Amino acid sequence: MIVNNLESLKELIEKVKASQEKYATFSQEQVDKVFKKASIAANSARIQLAKMVVKETGMGIVEDKVIKNHFASEIVYNKYRDSKSCGVIELDESYGFQKIAEPLGIIAGIVPTTNPTSTAIFKALLSLKTRNAIIFSPHPRAKKSTIEAAKIILEAAIKAGCPEHIIGWIDEPTIELSQALMQHPDIKLILATGGPGMVKAAYSSGHPSLGVGSGDTPAVIDKTADIKTAVSSIILSKTFDNGMICASEQAVIVEDKIYESVRGEFQERGAYFVTAEEREKLGKTIIINGKLNVAIVGQPVSKIAEIAGIKIPEGTKVLIGEIEKVGYEEPFSYEKLSPILGMYRGNNFEEAVERRNGTSFRRYRHKV
């Protein structure tokens, strides 16, 4: 069936609910078999899914998306394969209590365009491990990739004995359908990964929700740091999948005593510090009408520089803007989801930490 309107969504939820009620009766042995087969199928498809994502969205790096898909499938499986998730999972006869695991029912999975397959994979696998069903609402720009990942896991789960509709999805996602899914009375939990607006909508749905919005992760480098390791780690983080991981650093605050040393190390490792004029042009490219410019998300620095109308040295890995302000008027203090970094100076460690706390100036985000 094709889910593209409220009526077809209602029909899907009914089918998924019936499948979940059957799956809730499965034993631990049956569940673990499903979990294993689904994980293997997802991991086997990690390369084709990575290629599909980059082709569909035009964002990120294939090789890095392969790693994310691998982590979401095999690493997640290895983490939870021996965990009990059915019936009595803990018994303490001394204190006379038991812990009993029961499924919730149907989970709504909101999936972002930045990680459309890896997010779908781990949410589907965790749902299967806990005898829950899940219905995905993909991002419109990445719907084919998300749906393909869901199909691969569903087919493997069915072959392992799972009911037919244990995983579902919206084929033509819209804001209306996403909200209808999240607000439906048969939805027992929402796993929302996306922008602040989507996370806020999940928390406002009336159902229990686990939301992951913007990251805006700041990092402090003080005089006790191993400068080479710190700078290398930040560059690796900012260049992985072209900076689309929401946990990657968005700003770095450097203690004054080592500022020039850190700056030099960044340059040595391929970072380019934009001039004041270039920073102005790049800032107008990062934020347009108060929102992140989607044209730069997950793009290489060469393309971002071209969009901004600035020239950068060949081989540049990261663009860095040296800034002082934090807030809506400073584009470099936003989450940028690209290989762009804001760099601040702190007179001492205490000031650097205070500045670090101020970089997360918007709501509905998480810190690492």
Q: Could you give the CA distance from residue 363 to residue 114 in angstroms, rounded to a whole number?
A: 20
pLDDT of 261: 97
Q: Are 74 and 39 in contact (CB under 8 A)?
A: yes
Q: Which long-range contacts (CB under 8 A, 24 or more apart) does 18-22 make?
A: 18/163, 18/165, 19/133, 19/162, 19/163, 19/164, 19/165, 19/166, 20/103, 20/105, 20/106, 20/131, 20/132, 20/133, 20/163, 20/166, 22/163
Predicted confidence at residue 352, as pLDDT, reads 75
Q: Does residue 137 contact residue 165 with C-beta atoms inside 8 Å? A: no
Q: Say what angle helices 62-70 and 118-129 make with each other, to 10 degrees.
A: 10
Global pTM value: 0.91
Across 216-227, b (16+ Cβ under 10 Å) vs e yields bbbbbbbeebeb
> Residue 356's pLDDT is what?
64
Residues of the chain with confidence (pLDDT) below 50: 363-368
Note the pLDDT of residue 359: 58
Which two tokens mark 101? 């695991």
Look at residue 310 in the predicted model and tell me its pLDDT: 96
Domain 6-212 classified CATH 3.40.605.10?
yes
Q: Strand 209-212 to strand 217-221: parallel, antiparallel, or no bridges (unpaired)? A: unpaired
Has 246 been annotated as catalytic?
yes
Tokens of 335: 């989450």
Where are the CATH 3.40.309.10 domain residues in the chain? 217-358
In the chain, CATH 3.40.605.10 sits at 6-212
> What strands lie across the sheet with 187-193, from one edge to the other?
167-169, 133-137, 106-110, 187-193, 209-212
Q: Which of these is catalytic: 53, 246, 274, 340?
A: 246
Which residue from 77, 98, 90 is spatially nearest to 33, judged by alpha carbons? 77
Note the pLDDT of residue 367: 39
3-class SS of residue 116: coil
CATH number of this structure's domain 217-358: 3.40.309.10
- Both tokens assigned to 105: 């029912």
The total of other beta-carbon atoms located within 10 Å of residue 44's CB is 14
Q: Which pLDDT belongs to residue 360?
A: 55
CA–CA gap between residue 71 and residue 245 (Å, rounded): 14
The pair phi, psi for residue 319, each rounded to 5°, is: -100, 130
pLDDT score, position 364: 42
